[in-house]
Chains A and B, each alone.
Chain A
Amino acid sequence: MSETHSHDDWPYPHPKQPDIEDGPITDLMIMTEAVTELMIDKAYFTADDMRRTLEVIDAKTPAEGARMVARAWLDEDFKARMLEDVNAAAEEMSIDSGVIPIRAIENTKDVHNVIVCTLCSCYPKHLIGLPPDWYKSRAYRSRVIREPRAVLKEFGTEIPDGVEVRVHDSTAELRYMILPMRPKGTGDMDEDTLAGLVTRDCMIGVTIIDRD
C-alpha cells in the first residue's frame, strides 16, 4: 500500500507508511527513529528498555489519580499523607508515580485551585498520563494566570465571587495535581464508584465535579 502526501517539512512527495504513522512522515519523525536506534546501538539503553518505557507511558491514565482522590475522600489520614507527598501515598496503593516529586493541592469551599505551567508545560504525567493539548497551548498558558475566571468559564466552570480562585504556576521541579472537593450526595458510595466521578480536568482544576 503506497500513497503520497505533500507536507511543508518535506521537500518532495513521499510515501505514507501506515504501519509507522497515519499521517505524513516528517524529518523530525525520522530524526526520532534515528536517534533511538543510535542510542540503542551505542548501548545507552536497550530496545527492551525502550519497549518497557513505552508500555509505562501507555499504561498511565487519569484512573490511578482518580483512585487516589477517592481514597483521600474516604480516609482522612490517607488524605493528609497524600497532601504531604503524592508519590509516597501512591506507593501505599502500589501505584508507580515515577521519580519526579508530585504534590497535591486541596480544593475547599473557600479556595478553588487551578494548575498551570506558564514557562513550559509541567504536568504530573508519571501519575495521570500525558496532558491534553490545550494544557500546553499558548492560550491556556498565557491567560489562566491573568484571567482565571474567564478561562474557567470557557470550561463551563463558574466559581462564586466569595470563593478565592488561586492559580498555581508550576515553575519548579515539582508537579501538581488538584484534590477536588467531594461532591454532595455521595455519602454511600464506595471507593471505586467515587473514583469513577473523578476526571482528569478536575485534577487540573479547570472543572469541578458536577453530578447530574
Chain B
Amino acid sequence: MSARFAAGDEVRVRRASPPGHVRTPYYIRGKEGVVSRLIAEHPNPEELAYGRDGLPVLPVYWVRFRQSDLWPDYQGPEGDTAEVDIQEHWLEPVEDDGG
C-alpha cells in the first residue's frame, strides 16, 4: 500500500452524500484540514457494511481541522482543533495556488 498523503499535507474532505454506511461525518465534508498522521490501513467500511471484503485496504489518516473552520460561530480560542480519522478515498489535495 502506498499512501497518497503525508503528515503536513493540506487536504479537503470530499463533499458527497451517498446512501449506505459512511464513516466520514457530515460536519467535515467539504472542509479543509491538515494531515497529522498516517494512523492505519483498513478495508473500506462502506463495503464491509454490505458483507463484502472491502479490499484493497486504504490508508486512514488523522486529519486536523481548525474549529473555527468547522463552525463559523465557534466560541473557543482560535487554537482549538478537531481531529478525525478519515480514509483516503474521502480526501483530495488542496491545490497549490501558485503563491
- Any B CB within 8 A of the CB of A167: yes
Inter-chain contact B24/A171, CB cutoff 8 Å? yes
Give the contacts of A162-212 with B (CB-CB under 8 A): 162, 164-174
Most buried by A among B70, B71, B84: B84
Partner of B23, one of A149, A167, A171: A171
B-chain residues with CB within 8 Å of residue A24 when the two chains form the complex: none
- Selected from A101, A166, A170, the residue in CB contact (under 8 A) with B80 is A166
Judged by DSSP, the binding face of A is loop
Question: Hey, which chain B residues are within 8 Å of A145, CB to CB?
Answer: 27, 82
Is A21 at the interface (CB under 8 A from chain B)? no
Given contacts A103-B39, A172-B60, 13 further A-B contacts (CB under 8 A): A146-B70, A148-B76, A148-B80, A165-B77, A167-B81, A167-B82, A168-B62, A169-B84, A171-B25, A172-B45, A172-B87, A174-B39, A174-B60
CA distance in complex: A173, B45 (Å) = 9
Interface residues of B in 58-99 (CB under 8 A from A): 60, 62, 64, 67, 70-71, 74-77, 79-87
Binary per-residue interface labels of chain A (23-44) against chain B in the complex, 1 for a CB within 8 Å, 0 otherwise = 0000000000000000000000
Given contacts A169-B25, A172-B60, contact A161 B77 (CB under 8 A): yes
B6 adjacent to chain A (CB < 8 Å): no
Q: Would B83 and A167 count as touching, CB distance under 8 A?
A: yes
CA distance A172 to B27 in the complex (A): 16
B84 close to A171 (CB less than 8 A): yes
Does residue B40 face the partner (Cβ distance < 8 Å to A)?
yes
**A: which residues have CB within 8 A of B?**
101, 103, 118-119, 145-150, 161-162, 164-174
Report the minimum CB–CB distance from A132 to chain B (whole Å). Answer: 22
Q: How far is the CB of B38 from the nearest CB of chain A, in Å?
A: 12
Expressed in whole angstroms, the Cα–Cα distance for A164 and B83 within the complex equals 12
- Please tell me if B42 contacts chain A, counting CB pairs below 8 Å: yes
Specify which chain A residues have a CB less than 8 angstroms from the CB of B64 in the assembled complex.
166
User: Which B residues are in CB contact (< 8 Å) with A171?
Assistant: 23-25, 84-86
The 9 A-B residue pairs with the shortest CB-CB distance in the complex, in nearest-first order: A172-B85, A169-B84, A164-B79, A171-B85, A165-B80, A166-B81, A161-B77, A172-B60, A167-B82
Interchain residue pairs with CB less than 8 A apart (7): A148-B80, A164-B77, A166-B64, A171-B84, A171-B86, A172-B23, A173-B40
**A103 to chain B: which residues have CB within 8 Å?**
39
